[in-house]
Amino acid sequence: MVPTFHLSYYLLLLMVFTIPWENSVVFDGLGTIVRPIGSLAFIMTLLHLFKTGIYRPLNSIHYLLLAFVVWSAVSVLWSVDPELTFIRIKTYAQLFVMIWLIWELIQTDQQMRVLLQTYILGAYVSIANTFSKFLDTEQVNYGRYAAEGFDPNDLGVILALGIPMAWYLLIVQKTFILKWLNAAYILLGMLAIIMTASRTAFAVAILGLFYIALIYGRLSHRTKILVIVFIMISLFWGLKVIPNGAFDRILTIQEEVNSGSLSGRGELWFAGLEMVNEQPLLGVGAGAYPAALEEFLGTRELSHNTLLSVIAETGVIGLILFLTVLFISFYTACQTSYLEATLFFVLLTIWLLASMFLTWELRKPTWLLFALIALEHSKVQSKKNSLNTSSQKGKDYLSITSGLSIK
């Protein structure tokens, strides 16, 4: 490998490391810390490709996401707010570049595990920042804490996605320190999620813990005992430091569902459905949901529902492209080996549940998940092609030998 590849690879890891805490460091005129790092990684990767002339052909997930980006760009022609649409086009283009970088630079299972580990290490930064806010009693609003620059709901889901990743890495990692760093993440991540008092994040975090149950039976006897001891210690210590009021808000989930309010989301969703009814095929333009909503409710808000946002902004065509990506992602999760299959299935389910209450089609963790699935999809397709080749060779051998006679 030439030096440009190594530099591009490490810049990519640095970029992924900053994703879980990007909002805490924002540069005037540049945006979050992810952008300049990603730009450097992009430039160095292009130099590497020009130097070697070797690149990886995209797969079906990439082409579908690219089609979604292009369709979103075309929607500027009928957008109710072209300025917002141009901003969204720029965001989607940057997100697709991130997916492409991961595709070009992550080429082995070990590299993918390093990428996941980098995300966990980055999430630790936001966990530490959240704990710091709690100790300084700097609340986002009453009884809720989050790392600098983050909405508690978004931060909670970012940390929840790390729970199954950390458990997966705990199993596959060989380094003792990394194993226990990942084990500690499950406790500290859950505690930080509770500090956000996000009902959505807490619900999906519990779903993330379900991954532990799915894999538990495959652990050695000694590891099972250590896990039980760790859980008991975590519960004892966690219950002592949980902030007052955090659980009170989390436990109102049933009440919010019964009332239909869902923290005001119900009204936004009904307005969004009216928006879809008026522009079902083309939508109001990528990123233009807040401007269109102003005509219905007199206020600019996001949809707080990813699929509603996608269909309202890009119409049925955009929704079909987006749903097809999700379908292939779940299909891929079902085709790979058990450990990875359960990991990706739980990650996708966490994302799907969280996306019902958050606008996450433009968030980096969403596209990072798609990038990881695209890598796994390629591995699944390669195995299928290998099996088909072996099968064809067997058929050719039989056809040859069947024409021979023993004299």
CA-based torsion, 89, 91, 92, 93: positive or negative = positive
pLDDT band at 395 (very low <50, low <70, confident <90, very high): low
pLDDT band at 265 (very low <50, low <70, confident <90, very high): confident
Residue 310 and residue 289: Cα distance in Å, rounded?
9
Residue 289 and residue 307: Cα distance in Å, rounded?
12
Position 47 in a domain: yes
Average pLDDT of the segment spanning 231-254: 64
Same domain flag for 136 and 202: yes
Position 129 in a domain: yes
Phi, psi (deg, nearest 5) at residue 298: 75, 15
Same domain flag for 35 and 78: no
268-284: per-residue pLDDT in tens?
A: 888 889 999 999 999 99
The percent of residues above 70 in pLDDT, for the chain, comes to 86
Structure-token match 């369709």, residue found:
71
Position 82 in a domain: yes
Position 258 in a domain: no
Position 273 in a domain: yes
Same domain flag for 101 and 222: no
Whether the predicted pLDDT of 256 surpasses 60: no
pTM listed for this prediction: 0.89
Whether the predicted pLDDT of 132 surpasses 50: yes
Instruction: Choose among 157, 389, 356: nearest CA to 266.
Output: 356
Mean of the per-residue pLDDT values for the chain? 87
Q: Print the domain residue range for 300.
A: 60-107+263-398
Q: Any alpha helices (H) in 3-59, and if so which ranges?
A: 3-18, 34-52
Letter for the amino acid at 389?
T
pLDDT band at 231 (very low <50, low <70, confident <90, very high): confident
- Check residue 392 and give its pLDDT: 56
How many structural domains does the chain have? 3
Same domain flag for 118 and 235: yes
